[in-house]
Copies of this chain bind each other. A is one copy, B any other.
Amino acid sequence: PLIAVLPGDGIGPEVTTQARRVLEALDLGLDFEEAPVGGAGYLASGRPLPPDTLALAKRANAVLFGAIGDPRFEALERQLRPEAALLGIRRELGLFANLRPATLFPGLESATSLKPEAVDGLDIVIVRELVGDVYFGEKGRRTNVEGLRQGYDVMSYNEAEVERIAKVGFEMAKRRKRKLCSVDKANVLETSQLWRDVVNEMSTDYPEIELTHMYVDNAAMQLVRRPNAFDVIVTGNLFGDILSDQASMCAGSIGMLPSASLRAWSGDNGMYEPIHGSAPDIAGQGKANPCAAILSAAMLLRHSLNDEASAQKVEKAVGAALAKGARTADLGGSLSTTEMGDAVLRELA
């Protein structure tokens, strides 16, 4: 199988290197091909998502993605900014299902700002819709009737879009504790009301799943109050963006959280990336935590290569390294990015 490696910007290359080392160590006969993306893509070709990079991503069996974002390019027009690459790949590859697990590895309790009773045993998955919502609706600037500058973005979902992501939520819940919490803002938004209606309609197909609905403001609150009371959360693109970053804090560090972006429960063309950004402030210093990238590689094994055994092997190796005290700076330790990678590789061996 061919793995497209898109390291991107900032700490992206550093953490991706470690994830690739881990995949290589498993000796699965994988081929790797690298291409620039984000600010790096713009520097290389004048476009954040160079056509060759997109073609590689489409050709590959899976994409291992680093991070994008570079303050030097923030003032460019929207389609030239690094973020456009990420949104472009998601859209072009049809990666509508973003899985964001948040697990607290034993030993990391001290790294979170939440009290132990709130995060003890934390093991949640946020299923975020990734190619619709206000992210991809019509948007722009105009001058309104009073001559004032106005910015607008259209939020919307249709029933098919809701159905396919809700199905992922239900299926995920089936494999776990059979509890699904759908998050929306149906008391204000028509988009959310449709979302809620469709999810309710589908629930008759999943009588064994206990479905609840929660308004997004309440969900943000409950994710602080008692995050470990959640199991599977399914939500739209914008709310999922906010809630999954928030949930990451329960896991001790955003440096621990992987993600998978899929167009089907398993199979080709998934993209795997840490949920953290490019962290320009620490880029190139060997300080970044590679665990999120390594755990993303584990998700790649699970979802794109259908190799659950290897996926678990990698996850266990990360857990074991942490249990032995391996810690990068974000976790209060002093290991470098490479040293943390070494620690995981030792456990894998």
Binding site for B on A (CB under 8 A): 78, 81, 83, 87, 112-115, 117-118, 134-135, 137, 139-141, 144, 146, 148-160, 185, 187-195, 198, 216-218, 220-221, 223-226, 238-239, 241-246, 248-250, 254
Contacts and interface: CB of A to CB of B under 8 A. Distances in A.
A136 B234 CA distance: 25
A182 to B, nearest CB: 14
Contacts of A195: 151
Top 10 closest pairs, chain A to chain B, by CB: A151-B194, A152-B156, A224-B249, A220-B246, A217-B245, A113-B118, A150-B158, A151-B190, A151-B191, A148-B158
Contacts of A239: 242
A244 B158 CA distance: 29
A243 B243 CA distance: 10
A226 B217 CA distance: 19
Contact of A189 (B81, B144, B151, B157): B151
B155 A159 contact: no
A190 B191 CA distance: 19
A216 B135 CA distance: 14
A245 B217 CA distance: 6
Given A113-B226, A148-B160, A155 B141 contact: no
Nearest to A245: B217
A167 to B, nearest CB: 16
Given A114-B114, A115-B114, A216-B242, A151 B156 contact: yes
A140 B190 CA distance: 6
A324 to B, nearest CB: 25
Nearest to A254: B221
A91 to B, nearest CB: 12
B158 A190 contact: no
Nearest to A145: B158
Contacts of A220: 220, 242-243, 245-246
A154 B152 contact: yes
6 contacts: A83-B187, A146-B160, A152-B154, A153-B154, A154-B154, A224-B250
